[in-house]
Amino acid sequence: MNLTFYKYQGTGNDFVMIDNRTKIFPKKNTDKISQICDRHFGIGADGIILIENDNDFDFKMIYFNADGSQTFCGNGARCAVAFAKFLNIIKNKTTFLAIDGEHFAEINDGIISLQMIDVDDIKVNKNSVFMYTGTQHHVEMVNELTDFPIYEKGKKIRYSYENPGSNVNFVQQIDDATFRVRTYEKGVEDETLACGTGVTAVAIAMHKTNKTKSNLVSLPVEGGLLEVSFIEENGTYKNVFLKGPAQFVFTGSITV
């Protein structure tokens, strides 16, 4: 069966988008998901996103990592919002459902502002910070990010956590409210050009550890620039928004 797909990217985080409102995609076939995401033998992507109907929300987003595992993806969610607008499911504002719960988002001139979950369980360790921002994240500061061995160090730390492991974000401070980020993503098992849940974790971690006093943090990633804003109340980070571009790349068809 031929299935139309759409490729989107958000600051270099790229996704295969599929309108699955008719429930035709084989969601249980993890081998097919991995094959589609393969950059040599498939379309090539960091993950697959399905858009489905939901009785209580504008739509439901289902995200698969390149290895077929399910989680939440911040940049993927921003791309899902752009895709839902393309499908005429929404206009410029939406409330949708994902694996980590309800999300609100707004589109303005191609920039998607996505509300993330509240964060209150933050573990500050000697050399790192750990939290859940839709998926698990380890945040660690380094002095020089350009030549840092992201893959080697990231993979080691990723598997040091109990199943399902953790994404790993390495951070270099640029100024009082700017932090450069590179991320090793579990499920992709490599560095990606951006990670939305990752920069969200970084922004919160930098505020929590007093590296910044700003509630609006600029986060350059390998694929562009993202922003995270929040309100902190008694140790809980609320009204957390991830902001950045999401762009259509190309469309095609694939046999499933």
- Parse the chain into domains and list their residue ranges: 2-113+246-255, 123-244
As a residue count, the chain comes to: 256
Q: pLDDT tens digits for 156-209?
A: 999 999 999 999 999 999 999 999 999 999 999 999 999 999 999 999 999 999
| CA 115-120-121 angle, 5° bins | 125
136-141 vs 167-175, strand pairing mode: parallel
Please tell me the predicted confidence (pLDDT) of residue 93. Answer: 98
pLDDT higher than 90, residue 21: yes
| CA 73-177-230 angle, 5° bins | 50
Question: 94 near 81, Cβ under 8 Å?
Answer: yes
Question: 38 near 44, Cβ under 8 Å?
Answer: yes
Averaged pLDDT of the chain: 97
Same fold yes or no, 2-113+246-255 and 123-244: yes
pLDDT higher than 90, residue 253: yes
Catalytic residue, from 195, 217, 221, 246: name it. 195
The CATH H-level (homologous superfamily) assignment of domain 2-113+246-255 is Diaminopimelate Epimerase; Chain A, domain 1 (3.10.310.10)
Identity at 209, one-letter amino acid code = T
Please tell me the predicted confidence (pLDDT) of residue 256. Answer: 86
Per-residue confidence at 75, pLDDT binned at 50, 70, 90?
very high
* CATH architecture type of domain 123-244: Roll (3.10)
Q: pLDDT tens digits for 108-141?
A: 999 999 999 999 999 999 999 999 999 999 999 9
- Separation CA 116–CA 102 (nearest Å): 9
Catalytic residue, from 17, 37, 73, 226: name it. 73
pTM as predicted = 0.96
* 195 is an active site residue: yes
Q: pLDDT tens digits for 104-114?
A: 999 999 999 99
pLDDT higher than 90, residue 1: no
Residue 78's region, left for phi above 0, alpha for psi from -120 to 50, else beta, is: alpha
* 37 is an active site residue: no
